[in-house]
């Protein structure tokens, strides 16, 4: 799912191409995309784009007359910039937003159509779509700690909860926790003051660095290579590969459609976090430490005895 750094770069690219221009037409290829009835989507046509912004993981196009088009890309939704009146891709195309200078295309490479478009009128209606999470890059230490203290969750869950923190998802939460050298399974209510500050500094650094990096990669072009798995990430998507800090093999815990990637030496004191399904299956055979894991691997590599 595109997260804060990706969304910021999307916003900047869209704004550079559309602000000040009228939205001449909206072509809806999938009826499942539109999640609102009033105001009608047709009412957006002919209105000038006044600004483009981010609302959590949503992209907001503000039009004349306090009308807003709010796009949530979910996991597989992506945006593309094409020539004027560009054709909507057949299998993955969801919608096209036409401007005189080009077309903003919305696609979703998944059979599960989860991406959404809301058309809302007025700032109050727009605010109802805000999940209320803290904007980490603009927050001070007190605000960050207050957000952490609102509920007791694992740090992985807390960082990805849009009611607590805005724009952070599966990928960058892994990177933030690795930078902070904190376990994804540690409870937010158990953090010391120093650990909370370390987490805040890591979040600011990781989100800022990746936003700048993606901005530089896009340059004057439109960001087309939006992915959760990027070269240069420390742990996310790097299961089994060496941690860039200590060289230990990156481990992961899989749950539902998400996973937590971590370095057991840097983040958990050498302890392996239990994968819920696998650890239940293996029970006492589940390795608890790096040393036990290496012993199991070594035993599997040993030649059979005569």
The answer, yes or no, to whether the previous bond of 39 is cis (omega within 30 of 0) is: yes
The verdict on domain 4-127 having CATH code 3.40.720.10 is: no
Virtual CA dihedral for 12, 14, 20, 26, nearest 10 degrees? -160
Cα separation values, 68 from 43, 47, 65, 114, 121, Å: 11, 10, 9, 20, 6
* CATH top-level class of 136-265: mainly alpha
Whole-number Å distance between alpha carbons of 104 and 79: 7
* 233 in Cβ contact with 175 (< 8 Å): yes
Rg, the chain, Cα only: 22
Whole-number Å distance between alpha carbons of 108 and 114: 8
Give every CB contact of residue 169 below 8 A, 6+ residues apart in sequence: 1, 3, 57, 160, 228
Nearest to 10 by CA among 230, 169, 217: 217
Whole-number Å distance between alpha carbons of 295 and 191: 32
Is this prediction's pTM over 0.85? Answer: yes
Digitized pLDDT (tens) for each residue of the chain, 306 residues in all: 899 999 999 999 999 999 999 999 999 999 899 999 999 999 999 999 999 999 999 999 999 999 999 999 999 999 999 999 999 999 999 999 999 999 999 999 988 889 999 999 999 999 999 999 999 999 999 999 999 999 999 999 999 999 999 999 999 999 999 999 999 999 999 999 999 999 999 999 999 999 999 999 999 999 999 998 999 999 999 999 999 999 999 999 987 667 899 999 999 999 999 865 544 443 444 455 555 545 544 444 544 443
Whole-number Å distance between alpha carbons of 227 and 214: 11
Residue 306, Cβ density class (10 Å: 0-12 exposed, 13-18 middle, ≥19 buried): exposed
DSSP calls for 291-302 = HHHHHHHHHHHS
Matching CATH topology for 4-127 and 136-265?
no
Q: What is the residue extent of each domain of the chain?
A: 4-127, 136-265
Per DSSP, 23 falls in state: -
Cβ atoms within 10 Å, residue 96: 22
What's the pLDDT score for residue 286? 46
Per DSSP, 73 falls in state: -
**Share of the chain residues as helix, strand and coil, in percent rounded to the nearest 5:** 35, 20, 40
Cβ atoms within 10 Å, residue 49: 22
């Amino acid at each position: 799912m595109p997260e804060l750094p990706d969304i910021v770069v999307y916003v900047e690219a869209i704004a550079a191409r559309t602000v000040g221009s009228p939205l001449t037409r909206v072509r809806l290829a999938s009826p499942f995309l539109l999640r609102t009835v009033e105001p009608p989507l047709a009412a957006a046509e002919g209105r000038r784009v006044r600004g483009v912004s981010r609302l959590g993981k949503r992209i907001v196009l503000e039009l004349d007359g306090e009308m807003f088009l709010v796009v949530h890309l979910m996991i597989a939704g992506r945006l593309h910039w094409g020539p004027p009146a560009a054709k909507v891709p057949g299998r993955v195309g969801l919608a096209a937003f036409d401007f005189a200078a080009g077309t903003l295309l919305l696609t979703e490479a998944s059979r599960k159509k989860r991406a959404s478009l809301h058309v809302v009128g007025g700032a109050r209606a727009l605010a109802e779509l805000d999940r209320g999470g803290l904007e980490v890059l603009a927050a001070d230490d007190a605000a960050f700690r207050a957000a952490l203290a609102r509920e007791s969750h694992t740090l992985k869950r807390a960082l990805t909860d849009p009611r607590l923190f805005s724009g952070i998802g599966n990928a960058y939460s892994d990177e933030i926790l690795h930078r902070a050298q904190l376990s994804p399974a540690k409870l937010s209510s158990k953090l010391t003051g120093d650990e909370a500050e370390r987490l805040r500094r890591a979040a600011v650094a990781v989100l800022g660095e990746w936003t700048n990096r993606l901005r530089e990669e896009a340059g004057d072009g439109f960001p087309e290579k939006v992915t959760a798995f990027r070269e240069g990430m420390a742990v996310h998507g790097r299961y089994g590969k060496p941690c860039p800090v200590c060289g230990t093999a990156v481990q992961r815990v899989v749950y539902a459609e998400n996973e937590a990637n971590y370095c057991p030496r840097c983040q958990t004191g050498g302890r392996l976090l239990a994968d819920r399904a696998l650890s239940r299956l293996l029970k006492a055979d589940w390795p608890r430490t790096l040393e036990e894991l290496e012993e199991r691997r070594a035993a599997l590599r040993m030649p059979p005895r005569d």
